Amino acid sequence: MSTRHYNNTDELLLERHDLQTIRDMIPAGSRILDLGCGSGRLLKVLKEQKQAKVTGVELDQQKLMQCIERGVPVIQGDLDTDLGEFADNTYDFVLLSRTLQSVHRPDLLLQEMLRIGKCGIISFMNFGHINNRIPLIFGNMPVNRNLPRPWYNNQTIHPGTIADLRNLFRELKIRVIKEIPLSNRGDFLPFLGKVWPNLFCSNCVFVIER
Amino acid sequence: MTTTQKQNEGSAGIVAWHDFTFGETEETALRLDCGKRLKNVVIRYETYGTLSPAKDNAILVEHALTGDAHLAGKYTPEDKKPGWWDDMVGPGKPFDTDRYFIVCSNIIGGCSGSTGPGSVNPDTGKPYHLDFPVITIGDMVRAQKRLMEYLGIGKWMAVAGGSMGGMLALKWAVDYPDCTNAILAIATSPQISTQSISFNWVAREAIMTDPTFYNGDYVTQPQRGLAIARMIAHITYLSDESMQRKFGRMLQNSDEYSFDFAKDFQVESYLNYQGSRFVERFDANSYLYITRAIDYFDIADAADGDLTKALSVAKFPFLVVSFSSDWLFPPYQSWKLVRSLLQNGTDVTYSNIISSYGHDAFLLETETLGDMIRNFLINRYKELTEQ
């Protein structure tokens, strides 16, 4: 991927392998809903490079303003309460990047994603990663690049592992089309990720369908 | 970026109003929803900025119930107050008069220059008063369409409005979808709530039961009735929190209760002041007609009550903004609009700005709202001119 030619909108994604992975799998002209879209970086790229018809959902006022500045259509809403406003089957892809563990009911959110869209793409922070397990063995919750804030004030209110999420998909009868484990800068022995993603990948992108 | 732009903000300067008259003949008269026709229609309007050679930078700004065409700037340097949305309109401001050609016109039915119940009926030579036909938001927009043609504008770059002005903007979207490239609907609703209809009813009752109303044929304003109508409305423009914060239970003149029914509390004095100021600038009959138009407004009427279907003709981006403490046009009404737009696959941006100012927030939250409008318009203009 490093040999690819990047134009200026690409630079918005350089730091995030998971966002690059999502960008690369979206077909041109898709209808995209990004839940927890932040400042709209990914959607801006999808709008410009893939001519996608994009909508973001974001609660934070500052981030929302950044979306508007970028020209990304965005709805100020709460993923826990406002998704009912979206009609069934109105998007090709519903994206959820690093947000699943921050909502009150991840299981309900997954079902909402697949009600609103044909296909869901989730970028998931793997709590089972070795960088997280080591501090736990010594008795503390991890604080690291992927979980930069301590347990009492971080967004990750439902820490879960890749294995946990696979189980949840099974329970909810959600089909996993693709599972793409990803390593990030600072990961321990990243080349082992292919063998044992739940232990060696800090991030994983899932593509899911009903 | 925003800070430097703010430093460059200026006033719209000295401005002037214009009158456009149409409908002198039976054929060219304005067709109204009630079935009647309105002749010799005058539209008072103001413009700011310059229309581009391609005529692609015209924005129509709609005023609220008691607003007028005087959007920004002053008529003379001595004017005490500038136009009603002066914070938003001017060089470098969100509605940037260096970039766009801004038009604002007084609605028909009003009392600030355009034809209304106080105008002379060409058929009788006397003022209409209550013989003025009951008009709708659709009629107001239909009249503005004539102004648009007169100004030689084929398509607005955007139609923007807050409160009732937002209703007019939505009406443009549905009735003339080929005539605009964007809609900014602020603190508004696709239809008003039962509660708001109720407040309008009480306001009209206050006016019509004033003994000096004389069935609309008053010579001087029915002051008590009109002032009470305004006081009621004014309460609905604020919020519990903003009133609490501004007045609390503070007393007006002393530390003790008067033990009579004079104005003890500061808030009483404030409301009284608002009422008496309003009587100086507004017409009671106009108040009846405009509130009625608001009551009747339902954008879903265009599709037998199906809001989503009614809005399906609108293929351009929307900016929808509500305010958290607005109980006259509560956020759920904006959500209703947004839900239908999303279902249609229309580009929509929606923000519910956290504010304690109630409905008035759309005139007061100029910082946040201003940034949104500024960036929405900049991006829209870029998209349109790069196409």
Is the backbone of residue B216 left (phi > 0), alpha (psi -120 to 50) or beta? left
Of A22-36, A176-190, B342-356, where does mean pLDDT reach its minimum?
A: A176-190
CA angle at residue B366 from B360 to B370, to 5 degrees? 130
How many other CB atoms are there within 10 angstroms of residue B69's CB atom?
A: 26
Q: Do B348 and A69 count as a contact with CB atoms less than 8 A apart? A: no
Does B289 have pLDDT greater than 80?
yes
CATH topology assigned to domain B2-192+298-386? Rossmann fold (3.40.50)
Sign of the Cα pseudo-torsion (A59, B238, B203, B65, in order): negative
Q: Do B345 and A90 count as a contact with CB atoms less than 8 A apart? A: yes
Closest Cα in chain A, distance from residue B198 (Å): 28
| Percent above pLDDT 90 for chain B | 95
Gap between the Cα atoms of B282 and B267, Å rounded: 22
Choose the closest CB to B371 out of A31, A65, A73: A65
Is the backbone of residue A51 left (phi > 0), alpha (psi -120 to 50) or beta? left
Gap between the Cα atoms of B352 and A75, Å rounded: 9
pLDDT per residue over B60-75, tens digit each?
A: 999 999 999 999 999 9
Interface test with B, best of A68, A86, A115 (most B CBs within 10 A): A68
Choose the closest CB to A68 out of B342, B343, B376: B376
Domain edges within chain A: 10-209
Does A192 have pLDDT greater than 70?
yes
How many other CB atoms are there within 10 angstroms of residue A55's CB atom?
A: 27
Residues in CB range of B72: below 8 A, 6 or more apart: B11, B12, B15, B48, B82, B83, B85, B86, B88, B89, B90, B97, B102
Does B305 have pLDDT greater than 50?
yes
pLDDT per residue over B98-147, tens digit each?
A: 999 999 999 999 999 999 999 999 999 999 999 999 999 999 999 999 99
What pLDDT score was predicted for residue A16? 81
Does B159 have pLDDT greater than 90?
yes
Looking at residues B299-307, what average pLDDT do you find?
Answer: 96
The torsion angles phi and psi of B66, rounded to 5 degrees, stand at -105, 15
Of A166-180, B29-43, B191-205, B245-259, where does mean pLDDT reach its minimum?
A: B245-259
Task: Please tell me whether the overall predicted TM-score, pTM, comes out greater than 0.80 for this model.
Answer: yes
| Any A CB within 8 A of B262 CB | no
**HSE-up of A198 (CA within 13 Å, CB side)?**
9
Q: Which residues of B touch A75 (CB under 8 A)?
A: 338, 342, 348-350
As assigned by CATH, the class of the B198-286 domain is: mainly alpha
Does B269 have pLDDT greater than 80?
yes
Which residues belong to CATH 1.10.1740.110 in chain B?
A: 198-286
ipTM of the complex: 0.93
Contact, B238 vs B212, CB < 8 A? no
Annotated catalytic residue B70: no
What pLDDT score was predicted for residue B262? 87
What length does chain A have? 210
Does A190 have pLDDT greater than 80?
no
pLDDT category at A189 given cuts 50, 70, 90 is: confident
Tokens 């700004």 map to which residue?
Answer: B61
Mean pLDDT for all residues in chain A: 91
What pLDDT score was predicted for residue A12? 65
What pLDDT score was predicted for residue A193? 82
Gap between the Cα atoms of B315 and B303, Å rounded: 16
Annotated catalytic residue B105: no
pLDDT category at B7 given cuts 50, 70, 90 is: low
Interface test with A, best of B340, B349, B352, B353 (most A CBs within 10 A): B349
Q: Do A68 and B335 count as a contact with CB atoms less than 8 A apart? A: no
pLDDT per residue over A17-66, tens digit each?
A: 888 899 999 999 999 999 999 999 999 999 999 999 999 999 999 999 99
| AA letter at A117 | G
| Any A CB within 8 A of B65 CB | no
Mean pLDDT for all residues in chain B: 96
Looking at residues A181-187, what average pLDDT do you find?
Answer: 78
Q: Which residues of B touch A46 (CB under 8 A)?
A: none
Among B87, B264, B322, B359, the one annotated catalytic: B359
Does A72 have pLDDT greater than 70?
yes
Which residues belong to CATH 3.40.50.1820 in chain B?
A: 2-192+298-386
As a CATH number, domain A10-209 is 3.40.50.150
What residues in chain A have their Cβ under 8 A from chain B's Cβ atoms?
31, 53, 55, 61, 64-65, 67-71, 73-77, 82, 85-87, 90
pLDDT per residue over A108-154, tens digit each?
A: 999 999 999 999 999 999 999 999 999 999 999 999 887 889 999 99
